Amino acid sequence: MDITKMLSGIRIDQSSSAPMYLQLANGLAAKIQNSTLSAGTKLPPERELVKLLEVSRTTIINAYRLLEERGLIITRVGSGTYVAEPSFTNQSSATILWEQLFTPQYKSPLSSLLRTLIATPTADETISLAAGMPDPAFYPLSIIEKALVSSKYDLEVSDFGHMTTEGYLPLRHSLAAWQSSLGIQAAPDQFLVASGSQQGLYLIVKAFVEPRDYVIVESPTYLGAIQALEASGARILTLPPSDSVNFEMLEDYLIRYRPKLMYTIPTFQNPTGRVMSLHDRQELIRLASRYRLVIIEDDPYSQLYYGQQPPPSLKSLDTYGGVIYMGTFSKILFPGLRTGWVIAAPQVINRLAQEKQHIDLHSNSLSQIILHTCLEEDYLANHLATVRMEYKKRRDAMVGAIRRFCSGYMNFNIPEGGFYLWCSITPPASGAELIRRAATVGVSFVPGEAFYTNGTKSNEIRLCFATHNEELLKEGIRRLGRIFASGAANAAQPSDLAGKPII
Amino acid sequence: MDITKMLSGIRIDQSSSAPMYLQLANGLAAKIQNSTLSAGTKLPPERELVKLLEVSRTTIINAYRLLEERGLIITRVGSGTYVAEPSFTNQSSATILWEQLFTPQYKSPLSSLLRTLIATPTADETISLAAGMPDPAFYPLSIIEKALVSSKYDLEVSDFGHMTTEGYLPLRHSLAAWQSSLGIQAAPDQFLVASGSQQGLYLIVKAFVEPRDYVIVESPTYLGAIQALEASGARILTLPPSDSVNFEMLEDYLIRYRPKLMYTIPTFQNPTGRVMSLHDRQELIRLASRYRLVIIEDDPYSQLYYGQQPPPSLKSLDTYGGVIYMGTFSKILFPGLRTGWVIAAPQVINRLAQEKQHIDLHSNSLSQIILHTCLEEDYLANHLATVRMEYKKRRDAMVGAIRRFCSGYMNFNIPEGGFYLWCSITPPASGAELIRRAATVGVSFVPGEAFYTNGTKSNEIRLCFATHNEELLKEGIRRLGRIFASGAANAAQPSDLAGKPII
């Protein structure tokens, strides 16, 4: 093989910060790995390379030595240097048996489902009604620029440096003001800014839950919460689906198991869209207060109401200080901001901050500055008005489409807010099976199994009406209808989700 | 007390999303808590409030009922409603004994030191040579705007939504290109974007280290790493301070203890500023490869060199695939971006992503978009040129000032890069003691104890020369000199750090 061809594309940049021998070695390594230089090929002798590349002999020697160490070439004394057999070249990645080194890991039947959902492309021809994402078309990009520009005037440049683990103080002040307008009175030292409410939940679980502790959740509930709780080794007690809280069962749990905490989404619950009544909220607080039950109130949707306003949050009714509130703007502004907050007693905030310090020191300062500016300059109010109006239209469009294309096959209640329609399928069919059928007609959703603990069967599916415009929603439902019409659903046998990709 | 005075400042906003009874209740609660309404004060009867506030009677009744539940007021039948005794009003915060509910927590003698450092204001009259922060004056704010503006053209708006846990794909591509220019050949699927390299380390420890596992670190080393490892329950083996790696001791450790991993900062080590020689790097890789030792290479400083370029990273010399590399721009751009990355075998990246998913789903998308644009448009190169020049001047200014103001009291080697001067004090004095003396003259630094495991004594201190300009550095050192001159150091007795605030 012609030496110049061998070296074609290999550049030695004297000014690069990478040593020249490394540049040469890596250039040759690339050619060997993509087989431009096949096994057995004889490499040019050092002195020729010295001439051709105008580098020192040491550079060539070091490059060859490195490639030899990497098992990519072999030197035969007296004969020359040759590209090694692939068997050697793959060695490096194989030498460490990683699985043997990893710590034992909790594997739920739902593992990786959430990541699959997040990774699901919503741009291609498949219409995804799965992931609970706001419509990117509503992301107020202008806010970001405005926030950063105005920041230049009213913010210290040092705000872009490190900050306290509890979060950007001006943001904690503006959050306190905003929450107070929503009925929660809390001082900035009762706030912790987390990297999304997912992290808030992770920190709370880390601070409170030990293996074999009991925790209470609604069934069905948010898949991310189930995963976080199960991963901690908690034993999960479930309150069955119902329009009102089953207080007899709850009190029985409290007496019998002394649970560490209860996780609830009282407003526009995920996935059911249910709203806990004011009476039930007050009753829950009374009971929790009597038994000193810690309540985790997850509240991502309460500001996304499309009819009458939901009742006040549990935290605003908290008479015993035991409610830990989790807020986020991920469903309102950008999920990508990854900025949520926890409101709790100062002792709790302090402990959560100690956990958070190990994890990421503090949350991203840019996002905190942006959110602070949004709150200060009241961008949020207008934005909320817009999305409430739009999402209401979309909810109605989806409902209309279902009645038109899927009538008789799906039952649901119309949610007064949030992102989801929770539908039970008649005749019953496994969601996982439906998913696979749906994929063939180009639509996706989350099967009900995803929202139940220990792989309970379900004949429900969750449809998100927030991500797409009305036309796409109608088309998505129309495609869904075809599955039912084709009777495929009847044929399907319930089967659990484990290991089966969602889309 | 005049009823209007009682209610002064309480606004009932009909348009607010907070129910009116809550607004009233919270308004009164605030006045009771700040004692504007003292215990025993009789509250106005419902009908009067109805007139005055022009709200329904139910609103008043609900407000009073809520305040009573909160223990803030009491109703005496036939007599009226009164502000309750403080003993009752404090009840709510006291009802839950949080400490009893928390999971057991590892407490190191260094606990909270890092947070104290981060929280230390560097703006007031105290000159902080403590925290390892780049000078905010160098934060390239313009980059942020440019990045976001140009983003609007070449980025999908949906990039601001959720993304895969492993990180923004375009960023993983541009990082791969950048790293390859520095000698590390890795495909995007070998990258995980973390919320700062602190999170990278947390994830690695979570994936590899179980209680009682052995791990190897250099001594002294980065305080955050010590905390993360100790918190995991690892048993820590230390390599003593030395200009070259003690391979006999290392191999003895490998044979005797089979450690899970070794954590090292080979380039401009924190705190010593040392650089591992190319020979030692190659020797370390050879030994690690033979024993299948996993190496965590923490590399925040290698691009901040002020003389000749440091040797190539361990990862670029990795012949067995066992090096896990951690990179970050926190010391180069903004610490507040909280965006670092891990380079490792795909199996490792996949496991780290599974851990990360529970913690925050994925890292902040804005920062990832900004960093991607910085790399794509090559802002970084110019910025690096600037800061290298500036920090070199500052290092020399600090060295000069020490020779002038502290000669005879401090010994150190001049580091070829990084942020720190690591000085041993003669005559020996406890860093903690020095710190307290220093505070009286308005200067701060990190005492050596902070960088050793299990509270080893130290007569060293770490001075950061990156955060302040030359004038401030000189003044800081001048103040330091006064302590020595006053002989305070001699008087000081070594004593450990536990519980003592750093500044």
B336–chain A Cβ distance below 8 A for any pair: yes
Instruction: Name the closest residue on chain A to residue B190, using Cα atoms.
Output: A93
The model's confidence at residue B466, banded by pLDDT at 50, 70 and 90, is very high
> What residues of A are in contact with residue B176 (Cβ under 8 Å)?
none
Backbone angles phi, psi at A482, to 5 degrees: -60, -35
Kindly report the nearest CA distance between residue B248 and chain A, in angstroms.
22
pLDDT in tens, B326-340: 999 888 887 888 889
The model's confidence at residue A115, banded by pLDDT at 50, 70 and 90, is low
Kindly report the nearest CA distance between residue A244 and chain B, in angstroms.
22
The model's confidence at residue B194, banded by pLDDT at 50, 70 and 90, is very high
Mutant choice from A90, A364, A380, A419 vs B, greatest count of B C-beta within 10 A: A364
Q: What share of residues in chain B are helix, strand, coil (percent, to 5)?
A: 45, 15, 40
The model's confidence at residue B444, banded by pLDDT at 50, 70 and 90, is confident
Residue B247 predicted with pLDDT over 60: yes
pLDDT in tens, B338-352: 889 999 999 999 999
Residue B501 predicted with pLDDT over 60: no
- Contact call for B345 and A96, based on CB within 8 A: yes
Mutant choice from A32, A72, A115 vs B, greatest count of B C-beta within 10 A: A115
Greater confidence (B223 vs A397) lies with: A397
Q: A464 vs A133, A395, B94, CA distance in Å? A: 8, 9, 42
- Contact call for A208 and B363, based on CB within 8 A: no
Q: Which residues pair with A193 in a beta bridge?
A: A341
Which candidate, B359, B107, B104, B352, places its Cα nearest to that of B230? B107
> What residues of B are in contact with residue A160 (Cβ under 8 Å)?
136, 139, 141, 334-337
Kindly report the nearest CA distance between residue B252 and chain A, in angstroms.
20
Instruction: Name the closest residue on chain B to residue A225, using Cα atoms.
Output: B358
A15–chain B Cβ distance below 8 A for any pair: no
Task: Name the range with the highest mean pLDDT among A28-32, A104-108, A201-205, B438-442.
Answer: A201-205
- Degrees, nearest 5: CA angle B343-B349-B353: 125
Backbone angles phi, psi at A236, to 5 degrees: -105, 125
Quote the pLDDT of residue A335. Answer: 80
pLDDT in tens, B353-387: 989 988 888 888 888 888 888 888 778 888 899 99
> What residues of A are in contact with residue B112 (Cβ under 8 Å)?
354, 357
A312–chain B Cβ distance below 8 A for any pair: yes
Greater confidence (B85 vs B230) lies with: B230
> What residues of B are in contact with residue A335 (Cβ under 8 Å)?
160-162
Q: Which residues pair with A341 in a beta bridge?
A: A193, A327
Tokens read off for A177: 């003001």
Greater confidence (A382 vs A156) lies with: A382
- Contact call for B312 and A122, based on CB within 8 A: no
- Contact call for A364 and B195, based on CB within 8 A: yes
Residue A464 predicted with pLDDT over 90: yes
Domains and their CATH numbers in chain B: 17-83 (1.10.10.10), 109-135+382-489 (3.90.1150.10), 139-377 (3.40.640.10)
- Contact call for B118 and A321, based on CB within 8 A: no
ipTM value, please give it: 0.73
The model's confidence at residue A124, banded by pLDDT at 50, 70 and 90, is low
Mutant choice from A164, A357, A468, A503 vs B, greatest count of B C-beta within 10 A: A357
B212–chain A Cβ distance below 8 A for any pair: no
Greater confidence (A201 vs B379) lies with: A201
CA torsion, points B390, B396, B397, B402, in degrees to nearest 10?
150
Q: What is residue B440's three-state secondary structure? A: helix
- Contact call for B157 and A163, based on CB within 8 A: no
Kindly report the nearest CA distance between residue B18 and chain A, in angstroms.
5
pTM attached to this predicted model:
0.77
- Contact call for A122 and B198, based on CB within 8 A: no
To the nearest whole number, what is the mean pLDDT of chain B? 84
pLDDT in tens, B381-393: 888 999 999 999 9
B18–chain A Cβ distance below 8 A for any pair: yes
Rg (CA), chain B: 29
A29–chain B Cβ distance below 8 A for any pair: yes
Q: What share of residues in chain A are helix, strand, coil (percent, to 5)?
A: 50, 15, 40
B69–chain A Cβ distance below 8 A for any pair: yes
Neighbours of B12 (CB within 10 A): 17
- How far apart are alpha carbons A359 and A245 in whole angstroms? 36
- Contact call for B363 and A228, based on CB within 8 A: no
Among the partner-chain residues B26, B152, B351, the one whose CB lies closest to the CB of A102 is: B351
User: What is the arrangement of strands in the sheet containing B446-447, beginning at the earlier edge strand?
Assistant: B410-411, B420-425, B460-464, B446-447
Evaluate whether A297 touches A313 at the Cβ level (below 8 Å): yes
Among the partner-chain residues A137, A144, A207, the one whose CB lies closest to the CB of B103 is: A207
